[in-house]
Amino acid sequence: MTTPVPAVHMTGISKSFGGVRALDSVDFEVQAGEVHALLGGNGAGKSTILKVLNGVHVPNAGEILVNGKPLAAHSPEGARAAGIAMNFQELSLVPTLTVAQNVFLTREARNARGLIDDADSITRAQAIFDMLGVRVNPRAIVGDLGAGQKQLTEIAKAISQDARVLILDEPSTALAVSDVERLFTFLRKLTAKGVAVIYVSHRMDEIARIADRATILRDGRHVITAPMADLPVDVMIEHIVGKRSKGLSDVARVDVFRGEVLLELRGVSGPHKPENVNLTLHRGEVLGLAGLLGSGRSALARVIAGVEPAIAGEIRIKGEKVTPRRPSEAIAHGVALVPEARATQGIIPAQSVSDNMVMAVIGRISRRGMVDRARARDLTDAMITRLSVRTASRDHAVSTLSGGNQQKVVIGKWLATDPDILILDEPTAGIDIGSKSEIIRLVRDLAQSGKGVIFISSELSELLTACDRILVMADGRAHQTLDRADLDDPSETDPEHALQVAERRLQIEIQKALTAKEATHG
């Protein structure tokens, strides 16, 4: 009996960036017709090895075989010719083009006169979305779309290449639960046809449901490849972080001392969302915003932070009525927003870690138009230490950092403004389980130091671990505010089981909010 030829066979892959060795003689093999999970912490080398496979990076050493044949050229074109397609964690879309134009960019059909046939692209893009069972308008301008629809466009772009090896890097980060289910159904259809799917996600529940096997990397080295049956969640986490851990249930919670009201919203509405929202945020507490994609959580954050104007209602900060019309005005009142879109709104990838860290306080550390480099270095080094940013030096470009470390740079940039009110919109998207715990401990520490934190996350376990109260939203409206303690079962003593019980209870409240919304709209 002949052994089937692997869809991907990578041996001895090494890659360095400056002084950082991202991959150290890594072996990675994927079979045709399987979903193979690729796991690891920040800086483990996941994105790097995938970009090597996809031709974005040229390895310093190693060999790559695709369906038994050597990769002809280490370039995106060479990978595409070999049947490899990839969607990127940081979206590669052109915001000024339509959805259809992005899906078939550089691969457009031509009409009889040799001109680009946009109508053909629209028809084919619509067919892909119909196949996925999702609603995205192929004619829409990408820049006008929400994060979830952009993510679906990125996935459609990868699928459109009719590849034999499909790489999905954090594909579900911005997707609603229903869209994730449809994506999983589609992936099973692809693997039934012999397509190899490489799936990267930090969501352990997803990995357990969709993957057949998993490979775990740590610090640029191969740790283990095994069937999912041999990798229960606690074992996966142990291999990822290098020690036994129960994940977020390990994060200890202490009683919160709530001080003065820092922020109060009375009937606040935005241009589209939110609608008639009331909330209060106290000094020393973390207030979570829960809800599905489109619930208005990010829109509410943008209104508070002055990114979008409030068109109705009243915003009070420390008792003073304010009407921030731009972020600088909100910052002047002690409000800082860490945005959801890290790549486009949070960092300048080509600039150094230090330049990014001091960006929001450049005026404060400058004299007569010249930046005080000593103060910039001190501030950056303090933030690198405080947030455990993994970088070769403060002078390295942020683009050389892993996604999780880039997120830490964004958080550090806004912490440098020393805000009273810090709004974090999906701060752990694309971050490994170990670093998620670090970020959530940091959030708890910030609240204990007297700050008020608004924490937005699509992962219920994060909200329950980080927050003291949780505001449930649906369709731009506030449904109800829950005390975190009310979601616990006093009889449950095991921390891991207790977190699972609280998750189920919070999920029920989110579903109630959706039901109430549907009843209201009739």
Q: Can you give 123-181 as a three-state secondary structure string?
A: HHHHHHHHHHCCCCCCCCEHHHCCHHHHHHHHHHHHHCCCCCEEEEECCCCCCCHHHHH
Rounded Cα gap, residues 171 and 201, in angstroms: 8
Dist. CA 439–CA 326, nearest whole Å: 27
Q: What span, in angstroms and rounded, lies between the C-alpha atoms of 392 and 453?
A: 30
What is the Cα Rg of the chain in Å?
A: 23
Distance between CA atoms of residues 384 and 258, nearest Å:
29
Q: Which long-range contacts (CB under 8 A, 24 or more apart) does 382-390 make?
A: 383/357, 383/412, 383/415, 383/416, 384/353, 384/357, 384/412, 386/412, 386/415, 386/442, 387/411, 387/412, 387/438, 387/442, 388/438, 389/353, 390/42, 390/43
DSSP E strands in 466-508: the ranges are: 469-474, 477-483
Are the folds of 8-244 and 246-334+420-522 the same?
yes
Distance CA 491, CA 494 (A): 9
pLDDT digits 0-9 by tens, 167-199: 888 887 667 777 788 888 888 888 998 989 999
pLDDT score of 516? 67
Measured CA to CA, the distance from residue 501 to residue 505 in angstroms comes to: 6
Spatial contact of 351 and 380, defined as CB atoms under 8 Å apart:
no
The answer to whether 351 and 410 are in contact (CB under 8 A) is no
Residue with tokens 């150094």: 352
**Of the candidates 230, 168, 225, 204, which has an alpha carbon nearest to the alpha carbon of residue 26?**
225
Look at residue 251 in the predicted model and tell me its pLDDT: 61
Neighbouring C-beta atoms of residue 449, cutoff 10 Å: 9
According to DSSP, the residues that pair with 8 across neighbouring strands are: 30, 66
Nearest to 35 by CA among 200, 145, 259, 176: 200
Topology adopted by domain 246-334+420-522: Rossmann fold (3.40.50)
φ/ψ (deg, to 5) at 412: -60, -40
- The pLDDT of residue 519 is 54
Cross-sheet strand order for the sheet of 312-317: 277-282, 261-269, 312-317, 320-322
**DSSP state at residue 5:** P
Tally: H helices and E strands in the chain: 16, 22
Q: What is the per-residue pLDDT for 522?
A: 47
Do you know the residue count of the chain? Answer: 522
* Whole-number Å distance between alpha carbons of 25 and 384: 28
Tell me, what's the pLDDT at 42?
A: 60
What are the residues whose beta carbons fall under 8 Å from the beta carbon of 186, sequence distance 6 or more? 131, 132, 133, 159
Instruction: Give the pLDDT score at 493.
Output: 78
Residue 205: the pLDDT is 77
| Structural tokens at position 492 | 């449950």
Q: Is 222 left (phi over 0), alpha (psi -120 to 50) or beta?
A: beta
Sequence-distant (≥ 6) Cβ neighbours of residue 413 within 8 angstroms: 346, 347, 356, 357, 358, 359, 360
d(CA 99, CA 246): 41
**Domain boundaries, given as residue ranges, for the chain:** 8-244, 246-334+420-522, 342-418
H/E segment holding residue 62 = strand 61-66
Looking at the domain covering 8-244, what would its CATH class be? alpha beta
Residues 6+ apart with CB under 8 A from 432: 40, 41, 42, 44, 202, 240, 241, 404
Interhelix angle 373-387/433-448, nearest 10 degrees: 110
Give yes or no for a contact between 338 and 425, defined as CB atoms under 8 angstroms apart: yes
Which parts of the chain have pLDDT scores under 70? 1-2, 18-20, 42-43, 88-91, 173-174, 241-255, 293, 341-346, 403, 430-434, 516-522
What pLDDT, on a 0 to 100 scale, did the predictor assign at position 31?
Answer: 95
